[in-house]
Amino acid sequence: MNTKMVCEKINISTKALRVYEEYELIIPKRSDNGYRCYSDENILRLREIMLLKEMGFSLKEIKNILDKNKADREEEKGKKVVSSLNFQMKVIENKIIELDNVKNTLKDSINSIINSKEKEEYTLYFEKINEMLEQNKVKRQQWIDRWGFDNWAKNYDSSVVSGNDELNIFQGYGDIMEKVKEVMMARSPQSILDIGCGTGSLCGELSGEIEVVGIDQSIEMLFIAKDRYPAFIGRVGNFLEEPYLTNHFDVVVSSYAFHHLKGEEKLRAIDNMCEYLKDNGRIVIADLMFLNKEKREKCRRDLINQGREDLWDIVEDEYYSDIEELKEYAELKGLKFYYDHMMNFTWMVVIER
């Protein structure tokens, strides 16, 4: 496609196109006579750039975001398009979060000024808002697949089986998955939802026999799950999104994914899982957890005494659940809560109405 065709197709000026090229946001190939020749991939890229521009990112920030998000794939066009759309969706999701943060800071400031009896120093509020804008900028650097699941997807299955991390996080992975399946299948469910399903190892093989839906925030994980299990229904999504169905699944399960949620988020995730669940359904969560604060502290001390602060830093980089806190929350909501230790940091929690 030449310059004129591109400009018409995506409604962009030649001047803007040249600026993006100057910043190396896109680099079109040149034909023998030196004319620019834009590929379908260049067009996808341009659509991403235009969206990011629309969302208020500077060209420098766009370059940074796009470089970090570069997919290392030589795949069919359909997958590239889905990846690009998914990326654009994430940009919007994160912009909404940023705007919400600013809105809430403004609201808090307004409420505080209305209700304060003293004469206020108003510059304080502008500083607060600036601080929030700064924090947003910092977070912006972190939101792209923080734990690198898209990049991990291709060798995820072999890496969990070999389990060669120093904390032995995935030790006994195969046996644990079998035990989770037993608990999951105990009442012969006809529909299962797996959140943070990854490559579909836990439930994929059941798809075809019963309804199996997998939700994951990583599009690359979902591609692999879908290639392995064609009847598996993959949905890009998040623990924290409002459920797209309610009172529908016999089992809602999650393995090795819950520890990516912070404390409050875990509680919201449990609420959402309950909403997905039929009245007589069952939630099963297998994940990295501590029984309580004391056990967590003991683990920290043990690792530090062994001179392995580096390993404790790895634990702290994620959010291992506190089982007793989850239990208290579930029981307050009138739910039944059972738990069982599986291996090292891995526990299984079962929640029922």
Ligand X SMILES: C[S@@+](CC[C@H](N)C(=O)[O-])C[C@H]1O[C@@H](n2cnc3c(N)ncnc32)[C@H](O)[C@@H]1O
Binding site for ligand X (CB under 6 A): 149, 160, 195-198, 201-202, 215-218, 221, 238-239, 255-257, 260-261
Distance of closest approach, residue 66 Cβ to ligand X, in angstroms: 21
Q: Residue 318, exposed/middle/buried by CB under 10 A (0-12, 13-18, 19+)? A: middle
Cα separation, 235 vs 242, whole angstroms? 13
Per-residue CA distances from 95 to 98, 133, 287 (Å): 5, 12, 30
Dig out the tokens for 188 from the structure: 């012969």
Question: Is residue 264 within 8 Å of residue 205, measured between CB atoms?
Answer: no
Is residue 31 helix, strand or coil? coil
Q: Which residue's beta carbon is nearest to the bound ligand X?
A: 198
Distance of closest approach, residue 196 Cβ to ligand X, in angstroms: 3
Quick one: 84 or 201, whose CB is closer to ligand X?
201
Quick one: 38 or 149, whose CB is closer to ligand X?
149
DSSP strands (E only) in 138-265: 191-195, 211-216, 233-236, 249-255
Distance of closest approach, residue 185 Cβ to ligand X, in angstroms: 16
Quick one: 65 or 195, whose CB is closer to ligand X?
195
Which DSSP state fits 259? Answer: G
Neighbours of 163 (CB within 10 A): 13
Quick one: 266 or 327, whose CB is closer to ligand X?
266
Distance of closest approach, residue 149 Cβ to ligand X, in angstroms: 4
Quick one: 84 or 255, whose CB is closer to ligand X?
255
Neighbours of 227 (CB within 10 A): 12
Quick one: 38 or 239, whose CB is closer to ligand X?
239
Distance of closest approach, residue 193 Cβ to ligand X, in angstroms: 12
Quick one: 25 or 160, whose CB is closer to ligand X?
160
The one-letter amino acid at 93: E
Distance of closest approach, residue 291 Cβ to ligand X, in angstroms: 21
Cα separation, 330 vs 183, whole angstroms? 19
Is residue 262 helix, strand or coil? coil
Distance of closest approach, residue 78 Cβ to ligand X, in angstroms: 20
Handedness of CA 194, 198, 200, 201 (dihedral sign): negative
